[in-house]
Amino acid sequence: MNAKTVSTGVMNTVNLLLAEKRTSLAVLRTAIAIFTLPLSVFTVLIATSRYYEISNSLHFIIPLLLICIVLVIIGVYLIFRSFRRLKDIDHKIQEIKSNEECMQNL
């Protein structure tokens, strides 16, 4: 096997890892949006709270609060998962760079 074939294989591996990193960043962006949605709902509820009685609207408020709690939990989970994946991918890329002579200048 010549050096060009090894370099091509290494570059393909790094390109795959970078594609996975872009995917993790997209998941992070989505997770932040999911996390902020309940905050927007709470803002609207607080801003319009003088127009309704909470005790009369509990059958709407309780399911809405449960949905918001679930969305916050999903958002936090996805954020932590994305950060963990990004860290793992960066570690793999650094490992490849340290092992390959052709990648040390990058």
Q: Give the three-class secondary structure for 100.
A: coil
Tokens found for residue 100: 């390959």
Domains in the chain: boundaries: 3-103
CB atoms within 10 A of CB 15: 10
Q: Give the three-class secondary structure for 56.
A: coil
- Confidence class for position 105, pLDDT limits 50, 70, 90: low
Question: CA 87 to CA 21: how far, in whole Å?
Answer: 9
Percent of the chain with pLDDT over 70: 90
Model confidence over 45-86: pLDDT tens digits?
A: 888 888 888 888 888 889 999 999 999 999 999 999 999 999
Per DSSP, 73 falls in state: H
Q: What is the pTM of this model?
A: 0.81
What's the pLDDT at 2? 54
Write the CB contacts of 43 (distance below 8 Å, at least 6 apart in sequence): none
Provide the sign of the torsion angle of the four alpha carbons 7, 89, 24, 86, taken in this order: negative
Per DSSP, 101 falls in state: G
